[in-house]
Amino acid sequence: MCIITLSQPKYLMRKLLLTVVAVAVSMIATAQVNLSYYLPDDVSYDSSIPTPQEVLGYEVGEWHVSHDQMVYYMRAIAEASDRATLIEYARSHENRPLVQLIFTSTENHSKLEEIRQEHVNLTHPDKADDIDMDEVKTVLWMGYAVHGNEASTGNAALLAAYYLAAADGDKIDKQLNDMVFILDPCYNPDGFNRFASWVNTHRGINEISPDPNDREHSETWPGGRTNHFWIDLNRDWLPVQHPESQGRIKKFHEWKPNWVTDHHEMGTNSTFFFQPGIPSRNNPLPPEKEFD
């Protein structure tokens, strides 16, 4: 503690004041962010479900999670939660596993294949009329990090997985009872890991630099956007030439989800993208409907 008295010379007071300010700024800069910064604080969380920090040893955002760490955490979630099932559906060119976590209620998990088959039958004209629509579960697909150097997406997957596994309350219980969440934390493991390795290698250990010219923020070519063969996997949805896409598309058609979220980031100096945007982009087939 530094105590300043009026009897001290002005230059000494100025020096001490600058010291106090510097210490205060340093404390703010090094303050630990916890999960309440990211997650809703109006719900409680099951303490038996491990947080990212408990498994990885750091809070989300303090380091860029590597792909192996991400998979390690997803496996820990699946082991701890009866809401979650983990599946591996493909391997990248560099032999990294592509995984999905399926979240739903414990009751739904006991008949998951039945739920999946009934959902797919909705796409068959000769079967759909016999299905009780009040019993059909909504399927929400959540995909992250098709561009490996859009770092917030994969790190956000850690938070989404924790929330779906650990959140308690009537709201999440109803969602898990009525829905099946398919969470794919990383579409592009090779590019994602390339980026995380670059940033974690070149970042400051004690001080984080926001300067875009810093080496941390200036990847060498080819960067982490693309996969092993420098292919932008967001352009491989239709050609489906790479194992990451082939595995993903196969799982997509196994479920035929109602909703698909594809999580990107636009960069610090870019505006937000929102689809459908201008009317000419709208597909003419879906009915016009306003949602609350």
Q: What mean pLDDT value characterizes the chain?
A: 86
In a domain, 276, yes or no: no
Per-residue pLDDT tens over the stretch 241-289:
999 999 999 999 999 999 999 998 887 777 666 666 677 777 777 777 6
Judge whether 165 lies within some domain.
yes
Q: Has residue 285 been placed in a domain?
A: no
Place of tokens 């299905």: 131
- Per residue in 145-198, pLDDT (tens digit) is 999 999 899 999 999 999 999 999 999 999 999 999 999 999 999 999 999 999
Please check whether residue 22 lies inside any domain of the structure: no
Share of the chain above pLDDT 90, in %: 66
Q: What is the pTM of this model?
A: 0.83
Inform me whether the pLDDT recorded for 11 exceeds 70: no
Angstrom distances, CA of residue 169 to CA of 181, 200, 255: 17, 37, 27
Q: Specify whether the CB–CB gap between 220 and 199 falls below 8 A.
A: no
In terms of residue numbers, what domain contains 111?
A: 51-205+213-266
Residue 283 lies in a domain: no
**Rounded to 5 degrees, what are φ and ψ at 170?**
-65, -35
Residues 31-52, mean pLDDT to the nearest whole number: 88
Range name among 19-33, 119-133, 186-200 with the lowest pLDDT average? 19-33
Q: Is residue 1 part of a domain?
A: no
For residue 44, being part of any structural domain is answered with no
pLDDT for res 286: 72
Q: What is the CATH number of the domain that holds 117?
A: 3.40.630.10
The larger pLDDT score, comparing residue 134 to residue 144, is at 144
Name the percent of the chain lying above pLDDT 70: 85
Residue 17 lies in a domain: no
Q: How many domains does the chain have?
A: 1
Nearest to 141 by CA among 109, 100, 192, 110: 100
Q: Which has more pLDDT, 291 or 111?
A: 111
Helix (H) or strand (E) holding 208: none
pLDDT digits (tens, 9 = 90+) for 97-125: 999 999 999 999 999 999 999 999 988 88
Predicted confidence (pLDDT) at residue 14 exceeds the cutoff of 70: no
In this prediction, residue 16 has a pLDDT band, given cuts at 50, 70 and 90, of very low
